[in-house]
Homo-oligomer: A and B are copies of this chain.
Amino acid sequence: MLVLGVDPGLTRCGVGVVSGRPGGACEIVAVEVVRTPSDAELPARLLTLDERLGALVREHRPEAVAVERVFSQHNTQTVIGTAQASAVAILAGARAGVPVTTYTPSEVKAAVTGSGTADKAQVTTMVTRLLRLAEAPRPADAADALALAICHIWRGGAQARLAAALGGGRRGSARAWGGRR
């Protein structure tokens, strides 16, 4: 399956596209960081992000979009910008009819490192290893976006197997949403 992961942010928004199957190897398809100038007006920044994320969804036609869930433990002023960027990312998938799932940072860390409390360096190391990259993706937003996509591929597979074992084809995650086609 092809998954587009987004580490949302107004100044730097990481986007990683990964193909793979649950339990199997993952391949990097694309990675980029969408940037908007911090001195630009908010509407212009959100529109830039919206246009680029929309274009990436149209270009790659992912089967799923995975976005990092925004939490309140950060600096509250930063959290507002991150929440606004996450809304744009979620809409980019939802408008295209692509299922969107959100994951907490701990879920992503646990998926790629085995520990929900791993630090950023450990996540970057594991993303580099899992995708067999010659060098680490930079900046950290790029590595985080790739980790989100890997997390969705692996967890999605586990959910599908669980649903199958329970005798239904139903999606297992309470946080997944099937979109509108």
Given known A-B contacts A84-B87, A87-B88, A177-B42, A47 and B79 have beta carbons under 8 A apart: no
Please report the C-alpha to C-alpha distance between residue A80 and residue B75 in the assembled complex, in whole angstroms: 12
The answer to whether A95 has its CB under 8 Å from any CB of chain B is: yes
Q: How many copies does the complex hold?
A: 2
CB A44 to nearest CB in B, in angstroms, measures 6
Interface string of A86-114 (1 = CB under 8 A from B): 11101101110000101000000000000
The answer to whether A181 has its CB under 8 Å from any CB of chain B is: no
Verify A44–B177 contact, CB threshold 8 A: yes
Which residues does chain B contribute within 8 Å of A88, judged by CB atoms? 87, 91
Given known A-B contacts A88-B87, A90-B42, A102-B42, A47 and B180 have beta carbons under 8 A apart: yes
* A interface: dominant SS: helix
CB A70 to nearest CB in B, in angstroms, measures 5
Which residues does chain B contribute within 8 Å of A102, judged by CB atoms? 42
Please report the C-alpha to C-alpha distance between residue A96 and residue B95 in the assembled complex, in whole angstroms: 16
Please report the C-alpha to C-alpha distance between residue A86 and residue B41 in the assembled complex, in whole angstroms: 14
Instruction: Please tell me the number of chain A residues within 8 Å of chain B, measured between CB atoms.
Output: 33
Most buried by B among A94, A175, A179: A94
Question: Given A41-B176, A44-B94, A81-B83, list of 6 further CB < 8 A pairs?
Answer: A42-B90, A42-B177, A43-B179, A46-B91, A47-B94, A84-B87
Binding site for B on A (CB under 8 A): 41-44, 46-47, 50, 70-72, 76-77, 79-81, 83-88, 90-91, 93-95, 100, 102, 175-177, 179-180
The 3 closest A-B pairs by CB, nearest first: A72-B76, A41-B177, A83-B83
